[in-house]
Amino acid sequence: MTTAIFENDNEESASQTVRQTMSVANDDAGTPVVSFATNRGKGSGSQSVPTADFGEVVELLQEYAANGIPEASAETLSAADSIRKTISVKDGIVSFRVRSGKGSKPAKIPAGEFAAVVELLASTSDAVAAAAVKLSGDVSEQS
- H-state helical runs in the chain: 14-21, 51-67, 79-86, 111-123, 125-136
Burial of 79 (0-12, 13-18, 19+ CB in 10 A): buried
Taking only the tens place, the pLDDT of each residue in 62-101 is 999 999 987 654 444 688 988 988 999 999 999 999 887 7
Question: pLDDT confidence of 141, banded at 50, 70, 90?
Answer: very low
Q: Could you tell me if 19 and 128 are in contact, meaning their C-beta atoms sit under 8 angstroms apart?
A: no
pTM (two decimals): 0.58
